A = this chain, B = another copy of it.
Amino acid sequence: MPLTFTPIPKIPLIQPGDNLADIILTAITDAHLAIEDNDILVLAQKIVSKSEGRQVNLSSVKPSEKAVELGKQADKDPRLAELILRESREILRVRPGTVIVEHRLGFVCASAGIDHSNVNPPGEKGADTNADDWVLLLPENPDRSALEIRRRLKLLTNHRLGVMIIDSHGRAWRHGVVGTCIGLSGLPAVVDARGKPDLFGYHLRITFVAAADELAAAASLVMGEAAEGTPAVIVRGFPYPLREGSLKELLRDKKHDLFR
């Protein structure tokens, strides 16, 4: 069976308090698309964060001394540096223009995933609103966000779905960002392929497949990064059985990480 990634068009700008599941179902219907059992709904972090009111106006942030220092080292607004510190467990690398952290959610990413692009000011846009001051934090608990959206979709459609939230992450060693899972519900994040014999009866060396990240990568490609972006994608044909899953499966603990 082919694996397909279908972008859901015409999702409106999301505001704090919006019910994402309802909005996405409407967009699916309007586009004459459908969802089926075992489909996986992949959502860009931005729309989840916006619906959860994770917008922050930098004018409301008071940078600590540590943030002022980090801002200097990284050539970043000290108020943004303050938010990066608050959202991180540990600062791993700092260079002008770059701060790599272990996010409080456990993964490694740049700027704690805080985003400046595509952040519409929440609510009505007043004349004095400076959109440039708004940034967007990641969802507080993306696994929980995914679970809530999945439950609502189950209630509305009676379909058994997986739901995944993704962001674009840079990587060690390789150039360019790739779509990466930051939270999920109802699908395996990592598939255990240990002990499955190969064609010649050997046991596989490759033991764990980061299936959710493999889906996130192609879903991100379909979403696009810029103005033409569609922040939600239906995935059909995932080749493994759905089950409960969580971000933790994808995180390598620090002491087993040779590159930190």
Contact = CB atoms under 8 A, between A and B. Distances in A.
Interface in A199-257: 199-200, 202-206, 208-211, 213-218, 220-222, 224-227, 229, 237-239, 249-252, 257
A196 B117 CA distance: 11
A161 to B, nearest CB: 17
Contact of A221 (B3, B172, B252): B3
Contacts of A3: 4-5, 218, 221-222
Interface residues of A, number: 75
A32 interface: no
A250 B176 contact: yes
A206 B224 CA distance: 11
B259 A260 contact: yes
A5 to B, nearest CB: 4
A250 B174 CA distance: 5
A168 interface: yes
A210 to B, nearest CB: 3
A177 interface: yes
B227 A177 contact: no
A96 to B, nearest CB: 12
Given A215-B218, A224-B239, A258-B95, A172 B108 contact: yes
A178 B178 CA distance: 11
Contacts of A108: 172-174
A115 B204 CA distance: 10
A41 B132 CA distance: 42
B205 A117 contact: yes
A57 interface: no
A72 interface: no
A86 to B, nearest CB: 19
Given A173-B108, A227-B197, A213 B217 contact: yes
Interface in A173-191: 173-180, 189-191
Nearest to A204: B117
28 contacts: A2-B5, A2-B6, A2-B7, A3-B4, A3-B5, A4-B4, A4-B5, A13-B199, A93-B259, A95-B258, A98-B258, A108-B172, A115-B205, A117-B204, A118-B199, A118-B202, A131-B200, A173-B257, A173-B260, A174-B213, A175-B249, A176-B213, A177-B208, A178-B214, A199-B227, A209-B220, A209-B225, A259-B260
